[in-house]
Amino acid sequence: MKDVEVKDQVGDKNKSEKEERMEISPEVEEKYIVEKKVRTHAKEGEEYNAEEKMSEEGMMDINRAANKRERLLWQYLMACQQSKKKVKADKDNDKCENDEMVTTKEGDGENAKRGFMRDLFTTFYGLTAKAYVIGTQMPGKKVDTNIVSCWAAVLNFEEAAVEKGQQRLFLYPDTMNESIISEKNTNPKRVEKFENRLLDVVEGDKSLMYMKSFKTIVVPIKDGDHLYIMGFDLDVPAITVIESVHEGISLEDMTDGGKTYASKGTPHKVKHVIWSYLQKVSHPKAMSLSATKPRLLKSTWTTKTEYTDSGVYAMRNMESSKGRTSGFDNGFRNDDKQRETQVQNLRMRYACKLLSSAANVSGERTMKGSETTNQNLQRVSNDDINKAAAMRVQKFQKKLDGEYEKIVKGLEDIKGEEPKKQDAEEENEMLKLKKDVKGKRVRNVIMKPNKTLIQMEDAKTIVKKFLTFRESRPFYFPKGKGFHHSPDDAIVSLPPWLFEDDIEYFASKLEKAGIFGGLNYYRALRLNWELSASWSGAKVIVPTKFITADEDLMYHMSGMKDYIDGGRFKKDVPLLEEVVVMKGVAHFINQERPDEINKHILEFIQKF
């Protein structure tokens, strides 16, 4: 499309790109600092940011089609791809990951002056992406890993507005690549290389190198031809491997491999480097992370597109990740056709997000370029003098419009199904409850959220029964007899450590929140196992003294005494020094025997 080249928008051809960036840097610095705080474009970009609303989870709405501004940016990006001059390939020339020749040597370097080689994304710290790289977001192309790095920079920019200690840190794919985790390196060398790459991720802010501002670390991993991510939740701790490609990660990849580093799978090697670095900077969670095993998140679907879309899935999983398996939802549909529509939509919208983000110091210039290009396209398409050029432009526009309309139609179909699906799920759930739950009063508790189990008995009575339970048997609800069966008018006497004021306080809280949520947690222990899956196999590796009571309901749960006395407890707590079973005491030992508990604690501390 010679007649609509975007090279007119690249500025002074006599200046190098480096000179151009150096020239704008002083102007951009102050604006960049302000924008990093508020995460919006000044003036011209405000309209765009008002339209670009994230979901409540802080993620891009996967089912919203591109708006007018995004379509202009996408059109501009596609026009940049058209401006490449075709020359004979040279084996010595560089290639991008998508095997597109980036020829600047032949033709007197004309492509370097065209929109094809334009820096469309530039962070203040110097991370850049040219138009041909961002162009790998086009359908059917394998996303260049540099795009994933830019996406991580955008996400980090937005996380700056999150409270310290709750932020996520998104690494770049080359922050943890094969050259770093290789067994050929010594562990100190691996940590040193990782530290150098990490400095680029935090944009030179050495205060962030201690990692104490971050709750979660998200690591994109490039493994051969595809990308997947690892999420490190430093609070829990938990390590989750998220893969969307069918058979992308094998069981062999997930193996701990024994004692040698070389025998470990990639996720365990990555974990080892992260843990080693956290140890080096004296991170408070380093010790607990050492006993945490990476867990593979099993999706209800996987794509079989031979890794072509793995970069898009990785970008989506990055913004969706909180570091743990529970509650993870990237929004993709199980239906292959619907998911393909979502992927194509994200390809367009992620590219536009990069171009328009406040993290992109070239963003304002790119937006202006998109508007000028649109005007040029309209002018040429209406130009009767050059009919050949007009036909090429019209063909170009028709292709873009066709792709967009196809995406919009697919998204409308998805949105049209959502209410129906939700209604069906609710109806099935209600039918299930009607079949499973017996007894009118309990059924009302579940079917009508505004009613609670408290209405079956007085809240004070429930609190009294629970706090005074002291029997050498498990705690249970006899069928048809309600909470800790006894006549409703039976007098529950309080022990010396419990007062009526305490009962009043606890009962007032119970009346507001209800009791059913707490009970359901224990009723569903076999179903909600994922909540504690990250601790599976974890060990307590500090000196320990365990104190329980002979009338504690927990001590008499099925299998608990065998676990404590039979050696399995000692296996999970290798440094266990003593187990104390207090006589004549129930579950609330701190309140019932405070002096004895204090004595046990002081005796234990004085050993060290």
Contacts of 140 (CB under 8 A, 6+ apart): 308
Look at residue 544 and tell me if it is in a domain: yes
Residue carrying structure tokens 């009970």: 519
Output DSSP code: residue 540: -
Look at residue 434 and tell me if it is in a domain: no
The more confident residue out of 30 and 168 is: 168
Does 569 lie in the same domain as 468? no
Does 157 lie in the same domain as 235? yes
The more confident residue out of 97 and 245 is: 245
Does 570 lie in the same domain as 495? no
Look at residue 436 and tell me if it is in a domain: no
pTM over 0.75: no
Look at residue 426 and tell me if it is in a domain: no
Does 552 lie in the same domain as 472? no
What is the pLDDT, as a whole number, of residue 443? 35
Residue carrying structure tokens 């998508």: 98
Q: Is the pLDDT of residue 567 over 70?
A: yes
Q: Is the pLDDT of residue 105 over 50?
A: no
CA–CA dist 44, 31 (Å, integer): 13
Does 113 lie in the same domain as 53? yes
Take residue 240 and report the two structure tokens written for it: 């989750």
Task: Assess contact for 245 and 226: CB atoms under 8 A.
Answer: yes
Last residue of a domain, one of 523, 555, 570: 523
Does 451 lie in the same domain as 390? no
pLDDT band, very low/low/confident/very high, at 91 (cuts 50, 70, 90) = very low
Contacts of 186 (CB under 8 A, 6+ apart): none
pLDDT band, very low/low/confident/very high, at 100 (cuts 50, 70, 90) = very low
CA–CA dist 504, 511 (Å, integer): 11
Q: Is the pLDDT of residue 246 over 80?
A: no
Contacts of 410 (CB under 8 A, 6+ apart): 337, 338, 340, 341, 342, 344, 345
Look at residue 439 and tell me if it is in a domain: no
Phi-psi region of 16 (alpha: psi -120 to 50; beta: other; left: phi over 0): beta
Burial of 560 (0-12, 13-18, 19+ CB in 10 A): middle
Look at residue 596 and tell me if it is in a domain: yes
Last residue of a domain, one of 482, 498, 523: 523
589 is in which domain, residue-wise?
Answer: 537-605
Q: Each residue of 189-236: pLDDT tens digit?
A: 999 999 999 999 999 999 999 998 899 999 999 887 788 999 999 988
Contacts of 537 (CB under 8 A, 6+ apart): 291, 293
Task: Assess contact for 349 and 384: CB atoms under 8 A.
Answer: no
Contacts of 445 (CB under 8 A, 6+ apart): 451, 452, 453, 455, 456, 516
Q: Each residue of 494-516: pLDDT tens digit?
A: 888 888 888 888 888 877 766 66
Does 336 lie in the same domain as 243? yes
How many CB atoms neighbour CB 110 within 10 A?
17
Q: Is the pLDDT of residue 263 over 50?
A: yes
Contacts of 475 (CB under 8 A, 6+ apart): 469, 484, 553
Does 386 lie in the same domain as 337? yes
Does 357 lie in the same domain as 411? yes
Query: Lowest-pLDDT range, 99-103, 307-311, 464-468?
Result: 99-103
H or E stretch at 388: helix 387-436
Task: Tell me the backbone φ, ψ of residue 433, rounded to 5 degrees.
Answer: -65, -40
DSSP-assigned beta bridge partners for residue 54? 60
Centroid of chain to Cα 12: 42
Q: What is the mean pLDDT of residues 89-118?
A: 47
Look at residue 497 and tell me if it is in a domain: yes
Look at residue 110 and tell me if it is in a domain: yes
Contacts of 250 (CB under 8 A, 6+ apart): none
What are the Cα distances from residue 586, in Å, to 105, 169, 457, 474, 561?
Answer: 82, 45, 23, 12, 15
What is the pLDDT, as a whole number, of residue 324? 65
Does 543 lie in the same domain as 394? no
Does 87 lie in the same domain as 184? yes
Helix (H, G, I), strand (E, B) or coil at 543: coil
Q: How many domains does the chain have?
A: 3
**What CATH number is attached to the domain comprising 94?**
3.40.395.10
Does 548 lie in the same domain as 503? no
Last residue of a domain, one of 418, 433, 461: 418
Helix (H, G, I), strand (E, B) or coil at 324: coil
B/e letters for 61-72, b = 16+ CB within 10 Å, e = fewer, are: ebbbbbeebbbb
Take residue 503 and report the two structure tokens written for it: 């009962």
How many CB atoms neighbour CB 394 within 10 A?
14
- DSSP class per residue in 20-71: HHHHHHHHHHHHHHHHHHH-S-SGGGHHHHHH--B-TTSSB-TTPPP-HHHH
